[in-house]
């Protein structure tokens, strides 16, 4: 019997495939900053970042400095940008560990400059321009002043200029064209004053897959690398889902008609049936909203979630599935035989977005990494004349400079299993 109550299978080959698709969309010379915030959208930042770097991505984007430091602690040497903002207390550790910071105000610039001077380091910063997100970032009218201030700061190194797209439809939205125009205005003014340094980046997944132009030299995909994209967007079918979420039947009970199931008895058996209890709940990533409307796959067939989703358990009606037994695998997200439940389907039923579904796969869910061997073996074997260059333009004998393969792969360290952080 499977030793896991709940497991998230993470397919590193699917990740690699998606990165190849992203790389193609980014165009020749286009660099990829993979967004691994929120524990890589629930997939496990450590393993995802390490594998993606071996696949040749150039840098990482995170949500908080703690996420960046965790990766540094794990030996990641590639550039890491805290995409949003740090809070004051985080600045020191960021500078000490060469974590890049997005700047959006004069005050923050002054603070970082002063701190970097004290520590005797050069702080690496990106200027975030708010062209329509309305959240973080300096307004376009103030961007030039801030760039001049940065240039005049002895201990600041400008590593890039960024803006963030607000529309879920990416380049298909008028607002994105407006944002691009506004960003372009800042860039051309900065260019004429020779204030531009480092990379320029704007495109998230939606913008990348809807053909934002220009794409500049770096793209910042997150969700698409995990194989998820709004199915209405072009190219979403090229991606492969990375995560499957599975549990097992721990108890079966034949109940007579009229039996109430779960908290508040929100479901009653219309006829005699068989109820399976699964040891997975909303703490593990099954939204409470799936109460009486979600489904799981058992023996290749869909079984409805009946009664309320609870913290640790759900109940499903398997009366129509002959032979269903304790120990059977139940798939919450993923494929079993001819049936598939996608993250998009779960999100739709739960009335939320796909991002929230994968991000809420809880920490007690065992992450199990599969695949990824091909690349690892290729990087470790002696050069083989039959080797063809990989899609990333480097061969077995020339591993990517971004991440020398000195350190063993995260999934390898514990026998291809990494505990969720
Ligand atoms: C999260 C995030 C991204 C990635 O967005 P996806 O929609 O997941 O591709 C890119 N840039 C910034 C600033 C972000 O916060």
CATH of the domain at 286: 2.40.37.10
The per-residue pLDDT for 373 is 83
Give the bridge partners for 126, in sequence order. Answer: 102, 160
- How many other CB atoms sit within 10 Å of the CB of residue 289? 16
Q: What is d(CA 192, CA 189) in angstroms, rounded to the nearest whole number?
A: 5
Nearest atom in ligand 1 to 102's CA: 13
Q: Are residues 28 and 145 in the same domain?
A: yes
Please compute, for residue 370, the number of CA atoms within 13 A of its CA located in the half-sphere on the CB side: 11
Residue ranges lining ligand 1, Cβ < 6 Å = 35, 37, 83, 164, 204-206, 220-224
Q: Are residues 61 and 204 in the same domain?
A: yes
Q: Are residues 302 and 220 in the same domain?
A: no
Is 7 a catalytic site residue? no
Is 226 a catalytic site residue? no
* Distance in Å, CA 84 to ligand 1 centroid: 10
pLDDT in tens, the chain (421 residues): 789 999 999 999 999 999 999 999 999 999 999 999 999 999 999 999 999 999 999 999 999 999 999 999 999 999 999 999 999 999 999 999 999 999 999 999 999 999 999 999 999 999 999 999 999 999 999 999 999 999 999 999 999 999 999 999 999 999 999 999 999 999 999 999 999 999 999 999 999 999 999 999 999 999 999 999 999 999 999 999 999 999 999 999 999 999 999 999 999 999 999 999 999 999 999 999 999 999 999 999 999 999 999 999 999 999 999 999 999 999 999 999 999 999 999 999 999 999 999 999 999 999 999 998 876 443 433 333 443 333 333 333 333 333 443 444 444 333 344 343 3
The per-residue pLDDT for 375 is 63
Catalytic site residue from 37, 41, 226, 282 = 37
Q: Are residues 255 and 165 in the same domain?
A: no
Single out the residue in 224, 253, 272 at which a domain terminates.
224
Nearest CA to ligand 1 atom 14: 83
The per-residue pLDDT for 400 is 37
The per-residue pLDDT for 393 is 30
384 domain-assigned? no
List the end-to-end C-alpha distance of the chain, in Å, as a whole number.
25
C-alpha angle 41-44-45 in degrees, rounded to nearest 5 = 80
Nearest atom in ligand 1 to 208's CA: 9
Q: Are residues 218 and 319 in the same domain?
A: no
Nearest CA to ligand 1 atom 15: 83
The count of domains in the chain is 2
The per-residue pLDDT for 76 is 98
Q: Are residues 170 and 266 in the same domain?
A: no
Q: Which of 204, 190, 200 is nearest to 162 (CA)?
A: 200
* Secondary structure E strands in 249-373: 251-255, 260-261, 267-268, 273-278, 295-298, 301-306, 314-317, 329-336, 339-341, 366-370
Q: Which of 53, 29, 63, 56 is nearest to 359 (CA)?
A: 63
Tell me which residue range forms the domain holding 65: 12-224
Q: What is d(CA 199, CA 270) in angstroms, rounded to the nearest whole number?
A: 62
Residue that the structure tokens 């039923």 belong to: 349
Q: Are residues 82 and 157 in the same domain?
A: yes
Single out the residue in 282, 315, 341 at which a domain terminates.
341
Q: Are residues 274 and 151 in the same domain?
A: no
* Distance in Å, CA 129 to ligand 1 centroid: 15
Q: How does strand 260-261 pair with strand 366-370? A: unpaired
3-class state of residue 212 by DSSP = coil
Q: Are 79 and 415 in contact (CB under 8 A)?
A: no
371 domain-assigned? no
Q: What is d(CA 34, CA 177) in angstroms, rounded to the nearest whole number?
A: 23
Residue 83 token pair: 């995409």
**Which residues neighbour 78 within 8 Å (Cβ) at sequence distance 6 or greater?**
53, 57, 58, 59, 60, 402, 403
389 domain-assigned? no
Q: Are residues 176 and 78 in the same domain?
A: yes
The per-residue pLDDT for 37 is 98
378 domain-assigned? no
* Distance in Å, CA 204 to ligand 1 centroid: 5
Q: Are residues 19 and 165 in the same domain?
A: yes
141 domain-assigned? yes
Q: Are 379 and 54 in contact (CB under 8 A)?
A: yes
Catalytic site residue from 4, 216, 253, 263 = 263
- How many other CB atoms sit within 10 Å of the CB of residue 58? 20
36 domain-assigned? yes
Single out the residue in 297, 314, 341 at which a domain terminates.
341
Q: What is d(CA 67, CA 72) in angstroms, rounded to the nearest whole number?
A: 9
Residue that the structure tokens 């350190």 belong to: 407
400 domain-assigned? no
The residue whose CB lies within 8 Å of the most ligand 1 atoms, and thus the one to mutate among 18, 35, 212, is 35
Residue 353 token pair: 């977005």
The per-residue pLDDT for 411 is 41
**Which residues neighbour 120 within 8 Å (Cβ) at sequence distance 6 or greater?**
none
Q: What is d(CA 49, CA 44) in angstroms, rounded to the nearest whole number?
A: 8
C-alpha distance from residue 164 to each of 85, 204, 345, 347, 406 (Å): 13, 7, 27, 24, 35
Q: Are residues 17 and 118 in the same domain?
A: yes
Q: Are residues 180 and 107 in the same domain?
A: yes
């Amino acid at each position: 019997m499977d030793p896991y109550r709940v497991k998230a299978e993470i397919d590193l080959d699917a990740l690699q495939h998606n990165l190849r698709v992203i790389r193609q969309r980014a165009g020749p010379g286009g660099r990829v900053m993979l967004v691994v915030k929120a524990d890589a959208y629930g997939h496990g930042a450590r393993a995802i970042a390490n594998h993606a770097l071996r696949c040749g991505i150039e840098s990482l984007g995170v949500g908080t400095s703690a996420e960046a430091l965790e990766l540094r602690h794990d030996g990641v040497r590639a550039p890491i940008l805290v995409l949003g903002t740090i809070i004051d207390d985080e600045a020191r550790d960021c500078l000490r560990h060469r974590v890049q910071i997005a700047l959006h105000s004069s005050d923050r610039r002054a603070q970082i400059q002063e701190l970097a001077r004290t520590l005797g380091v050069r702080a690496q910063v990106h200027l975030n321009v708010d062209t329509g997100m309305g959240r973080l970032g300096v307004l376009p009218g103030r961007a030039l002043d801030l760039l001049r201030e940065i240039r005049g700061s002895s201990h600041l190194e400008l590593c890039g200029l960024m803006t963030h797209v607000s529309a879920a439809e990416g380049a298909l939205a008028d607002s994105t064209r407006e944002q691009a125009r506004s960003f372009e205005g800042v860039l051309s003014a900065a260019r004429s004053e020779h204030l531009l340094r480092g990379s320029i980046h704007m495109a998230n997944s939606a913008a990348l897959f809807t053909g934002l132009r220009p794409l500049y030299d770096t793209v910042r995909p997150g969700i698409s690398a995990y194989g998820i994209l709004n199915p209405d967007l072009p190219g979403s079918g090229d991606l492969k889902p990375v995560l499957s979420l599975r549990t097992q039947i721990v108890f079966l009970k034949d109940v007579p008609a009229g039996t109430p199931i779960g908290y508040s008895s929100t479901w009653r058996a219309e006829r005699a049936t068989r109820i399976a209890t699964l040891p997975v709940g909303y703490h593990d990533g099954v939204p409470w909203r799936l109460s009486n409307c979600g489904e799981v796959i058992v023996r290749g067939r869909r079984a409805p979630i009946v009664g309320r989703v609870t913290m640790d358990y759900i109940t499903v009606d398997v009366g129509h599935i002959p032979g269903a037994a304790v120990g059977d695998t139940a798939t919450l997200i993923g494929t079993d035989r001819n049936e598939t439940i996608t993250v998009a389907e779960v999100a739709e039923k739960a009335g939320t977005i796909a991002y929230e579904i994968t991000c809420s796969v809880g920490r007690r869910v065992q992450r199990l990494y599969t695949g990824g061997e091909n690349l690892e073996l290729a990087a470790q074997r002696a050069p083989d004349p039959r080797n063809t260059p990989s899609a990333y333009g480097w061969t077995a004998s020339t591993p990517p400079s971004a991440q020398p393969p000195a350190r063993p792969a995260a999934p390898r360290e514990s026998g291809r299993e990494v505990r969720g952080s």
